[in-house]
Amino acid sequence: MELAAAIRGRRSIRKFQPQDVPKIVITEILEEARWAPSWGNTQPWDLYVLTGKTLAKFKEMNIQQTLISASIASDVPMLENWPAAMKARYGELGKVVLSVQGIKREDKEARDQYYKNMVSAFDAPCLIFACISRDNLVEYQMLDLGLITQTICLSAHGKGLGTCLLAAAARFSAQIRKIAPIPDDKKIVVGIALGYPDPSFPLNNFERDRAKLDEFVHWME
C-alpha cells in the first residue's frame, strides 16, 4: 500500500469480523513495528499479546469491572479536565460515535451496550498491551511507545487488518495482571485491538475530522 494512502486510510476500527488473526500475521506486524524509532534506539517498550482464552477472560473482567462501576485504577493517569479545544473535540467524537450508530443520548441501554462493546475491545480476536518500564521513565519513553503503537496500527492497516487503540482496555491494571501476568514493573499504557474489520459497520466508515493546519502549525520563517 502506498504510504500516504496508508496514513490517510488508517482509522479506528470498532467492529471486527469473528475470525482469528493467524499468529504468523501478528508476528509479521510486530516484526515491522520493531523498526519504529526511539530515543537513542533504546526501544523501551514491551508488548503483551492476548488471544484465545486469556483474551476472553480479560473481556469478561473488563465488562464486570465497568458494570460494577469500579473506580478506574490504571497505571497511567487519565486526564479529567481537558483544555477547552480538546474537550470540544472529545465531546464531538462522543456524540458522533453514538449518532452514527443511531443511538440517542437518552437511550441509556443502547449507550451502555456500546460501552460494553468498547470495554470488551470491540470483540477483537487479539489485544496487544503496550507497556513501558515504571522506572527511569520520562516523557520521551512515552513518546517512543506512541511511535511503536502507531507503527503497529499502520502495519496492520497495510495488511488489511484494523486496529483501535484503547485506553478503555487499560483501566484496571491489577485485574489485568491476574489474567495476563504482566510484571508489576511495567506500566500498562494502552491496549491495541487487532482484527479483520467489519466493513459494513457504520462506525468503521463515518467521516472523521481533524484540525486545520493553521490551528496548530506555527511557521517561523
Ligand X SMILES: Cc1cc2nc3c(=O)[nH]c(=O)nc-3n(C[C@H](O)[C@H](O)[C@H](O)COP(=O)(O)O)c2cc1C
93 binds ligand X (CB under 6 A): yes
Identity of the residue, 88 or 93, whose beta carbon is nearer to ligand X in the bound complex: 93
State the binding string over 26-55 for ligand X (x if CB under 6 A, else -): ------------------------------
- Sign for the pseudo-dihedral over CA of 97, 103, 104, 106: negative
> Of these, 5, 79, 143, 167, which contacts ligand X (CB under 6 A)?
167
CB of 118 to ligand X, least distance (A): 5
Gap between the Cα atoms of 204 and 206, Å rounded: 6
Q: How many residues form the binding site for ligand X (CB under 6 A)?
A: 11
164 binds ligand X (CB under 6 A): yes
Q: Closest by alpha carbon to 145, among 21, 75, 14, 42?
A: 42
Q: Roughly how many angstroms between the first and final C-alpha of the chain, as a whole number?
A: 35
Determine contact, residues 170/120, Cβ cutoff 8 Å. no
> Of these, 6, 11, 51, 158, which contacts ligand X (CB under 6 A)?
11
116 binds ligand X (CB under 6 A): no
Gap between the Cα atoms of 196 and 159, Å rounded: 10
CB of 163 to ligand X, least distance (A): 8
> Of these, 128, 145, 182, 190, which contacts ligand X (CB under 6 A)?
190
Gap between the Cα atoms of 199 and 211, Å rounded: 26
Gap between the Cα atoms of 86 and 67, Å rounded: 28
179 binds ligand X (CB under 6 A): no
Q: Specify the stretch interacting with ligand X by CB under 6 A; choose among 15-23, 35-43, 102-110, 158-166.
A: 158-166
| Phi, psi angles (nearest 5°) of residue 155 | -60, -45
CB of 220 to ligand X, least distance (A): 28
Residue 176 cell numbers, joined: 489485568
CB of 89 to ligand X, least distance (A): 8
Identity of the residue, 22 or 77, whose beta carbon is nearer to ligand X in the bound complex: 77
What pairing do the DSSP bridges indicate for beta strands 126-133 and 45-50? antiparallel
- Residue 49 parent element (H or E): strand 45-50
Identity of the residue, 118 or 128, whose beta carbon is nearer to ligand X in the bound complex: 118
Per CB under 6 A, residues contacting ligand X are 11-12, 93, 118, 164-168, 190, 208
